[in-house]
Homo-oligomer: A and B are copies of this chain.
Amino acid sequence: MGLTKTEIFTEEQNRLAVMLKAMAHPARIAILQQIIKANACICGDLVEELGLAQATISQHLKELKTAGIIQGTIEGVSVCYCINPTVWKELQQQLSGFFSTYELKTNCC
């Protein structure tokens, strides 16, 4: 085996899993933090900021982009990446829904 049984789960569960998976790596967390911090979209600056090879950064950016979390537009020679506001809000809402369901309950064991 070795492949996730997506057909067993709901669209929502699969979608949330994909987005969380995209974020579930320290390098990609660092990338997102940089993008948010710099506000203006950064690009190859990331290669210098983080201690990873250019190919590796590019691959991480691709994964974030595939998940829809970031978007990139060509800006001359370089590429400008920034948060996709729509998806970001979607993720935020999914997660806050998740956490709010728990808050109401008391915990056992």
Contact with B along A66-96 (1 / 0, CB 8 A): 0000011101000011110100100010010
Chain A interface residue bracket vs B:
35 or more
How long is the Cα–Cα vector from A27 to B8 in the complex, in angstroms? 9
Q: How many copies does the complex hold?
A: 2
Which A residues from 21 to 54 make CB contacts under 8 A with B?
21, 23-30, 32-33, 36-37, 39-41, 50-52
Complex: chain B residue closest to A85, CB-CB: B107
How long is the Cα–Cα vector from A13 to B28 in the complex, in angstroms? 9
Contacts from A to B (Cβ < 8 Å): 4-6, 8-9, 13-14, 16-17, 20-21, 23-30, 32-33, 36-37, 39-41, 50-52, 71-73, 75, 80-83, 85, 88, 92, 95, 98-99, 101-102, 105-109
